[in-house]
Amino acid sequence: MTTPSRERLARARVLVVGDAMLDRYWFGAVDRISPEAPVPVVRVNREEERLGGAANVALNVKTLGAQATLLTVVGDDEPARTLKKLLERQGVTALLGSDPQLYTIVKLRVIGRSQQLIRIDFENQPDHEVLAAMLGDYERALPEHDAVLFSDYGKGGLTHIPRMIELARAAGKPVLIDPKGSDYGRYAGATVITPNRAELAQVIGSWSSEAQLHERAQKLRAEHRLEGLLLTRSEEGMSLFDAAGHAQVPAQAREVFDVTGAGDTVIATLAAMLACGHSLREAMPVANRAGGIVVGKFGTASVSYEELFA
């Protein structure tokens, strides 16, 4: 496995663009069933707030030891202020646009007896392009970074992505994309996209054999001028489709506790490695190992340099 020096990693700069969220956790005891409806009553005794969505991706880059900048648009509300505080505390540089018509996305998870009982989402779909006004900030930030990572959660923040990819590629920066939806034409020209099995099947249809998967994945890659398509396959590890063909690494997880945010860790690690000058084929086993470590943790989590290269 390729190991960048800590110093080299500390100089690597990743610009993360996408939909940021605030993850809230309410932990409590469940001792009885409600008399009003057949649901458990949770007596909340602890609350926790964590960075979610693109903000968690940026945190993963930072925890690994590289520098991270997050470019995103949030609402003018309490969750936005909390998000800002958390980013500052974690040392993630934030370029935050504020849009009063937007609700900052909050995912509230209620946990009782160590399991998630319900998730409540607070969000609205903007009726306009929220990141358009930040194109100038994006162009100014580009030269100062070594790689650009788009974290697309399909929340309306990345309508301008084709222009952003074009600018990054013209500046010679590798572009990584965690995709959403079925229109991969928006990601044309990117260095690599990292769909999971369900996301890829949405675009190429379900495959009945490895040969069929390889053929369709390569066709999709060529069609959208992608250098690589990295398929994350849970217990089957990862497959990279590139101009040289296909490379696969087996899954690394010893014990799967929670898969929340594992994709964030994988793409953040990949971006940090590419920002250090490594190739996709060199970066893939490192990202695979990071994903294997993070699924052993609870909730949206991240991996440190020590854990990864111990």
Residues assigned a catalytic role: 264
Cα–Cα dist 189/182, whole Å: 16
CA-nearest of 11, 19, 12 to 177 is: 19
Alpha-helical (H) ranges within 65-209 are 78-90, 135-141, 161-170, 197-204
How far, in Å, CA of 164 to CA of 170, rounded?
10
Residue for token pair 């504020």: 98
Question: Maximum distance among all alpha carbons in the chain?
Answer: 63
Strands (E), the chain: 13-18, 20-33, 40-53, 67-74, 93-98, 105-112, 115-122, 147-151, 175-178, 192-193, 228-232, 238-242, 245-249
Structure-block tokens of residue 139: 């162009």
